[in-house]
Amino acid sequence: MRYAENILETIGNTPLIKLNKVLGDDFPALVLAKVETFNPGHSVKDRMALKMIEDAEKDGRLKAGGTIIEGTSGNTGMGLALAAIVKGYHCIFVTNSKQSKEKCDILRAMGAEVVVCPTDVTADDPRSYYSVSKSLSESTPNSWYVNQYDNLSNRQAHYESTAPEIWDQTEGKLTHFVVGAGTGGTITGCGRFFKEKNKDIQIIGVDTFGSILKEYHETGQIHLDHAYTYITEGIGEDIIPENYDMSVIDHFEKVTDKDGALYARKLAKMEGIFCGYSAGSAIAALVQMKETFNSTDVVVVLLHDHGSRYVGKIYNDEWMKQQGWLED
């Protein structure tokens, strides 16, 4: 008999699927989607959540019966919750008000406590979800603050699992890797692996307007006065997490809130791949960069999470109309 001992053993080994329609008939390159929704928590974050927990267990930061505390847009929380259920931990997750209601409901369904903070405050504001997470970890006995932004087990998980899978699936033939950038774990972990294998592989981060990642990559400067609130979920930052190694990233492509939402819907309707907001942004980035690819390129685009987290937003016609993004 073939079976997994628990849900955690089903993480990874997600499929690579050719995109046929959503990019247009004249798109020059072969584009393959690494569809991370096949993980048990329906996102790429399952990989790093388990790695961060296992590393914290090994060095004693996380002790038996402890409480896991983290600021999350939802997906990391889901991965942590799965591992906590199997391993016997309690979870408190802090998120911000721009995240979809579905994400909060799912986390509560998995037994976690959820605290919602305002979105339009700076990272160092005591009301921000960064600050509230740290405060809770200081006041909660036997707790561990994960801090996925600066926890280097995040990027190591992708160096050890995500990137080697893609390398094997493409037989080392990929020429470009395109991925939404947030905490920096996926793009840096995969980027380091691919650059070690072949320095000519182009690592492309997908950013959103209102985020500072692209500007920091190009100038080395942080201008918080250039940051502003955006609607896109799962990518972009108003801080530079320690997980980033900007030297392995070749380019950041910015995508509007509207285009990310519209292309997520197109991906579902044209490819049958039901993914989240950042996946739509990644597809939009490819369309914007179309002229930079040629017929010999093999482009791998990573699709982070499942569309079920966004049915009240980008997959809801009324919500889309309220944003002015969908005509009758």
H-run or E-run covering 321 = helix 317-323
Task: Show Cβ contacts of residue 211 under 8 Å, excluding neighbours closer than 6 positions.
Answer: 227, 230, 235, 236, 237, 238, 254
Contact in structure between 281 and 189 (CB atoms under 8 Å): no
Burial class (CB in 10 A: 0-12, 13-18, 19+), 130: buried
Tokens of 35: 């569809």
d(Cα 86, Cα 205) in Å, to the nearest integer? 33
Find the catalytic residue in 18, 34, 45, 101. 45
Contact in structure between 115 and 132 (CB atoms under 8 Å): yes
Sheet of 113-117: strand order equals 113-117, 90-96, 67-71, 143-145
d(Cα 271, Cα 17) in Å, to the nearest integer? 10
Strands 90-96 and 251-255: unpaired
Q: Concatenate the DSSP letters of all residues of 77-95 into one string.
A: HHHHHHHHHHHT-EEEEEE
3-state secondary structure of 254: strand
CB atoms under 10 Å from CB of 135, counted, come to 14
Contact in structure between 34 and 303 (CB atoms under 8 Å): yes
Contact in structure between 193 and 159 (CB atoms under 8 Å): yes
Any catalytic annotation for residue 103? no
Catalytic site positions: 45
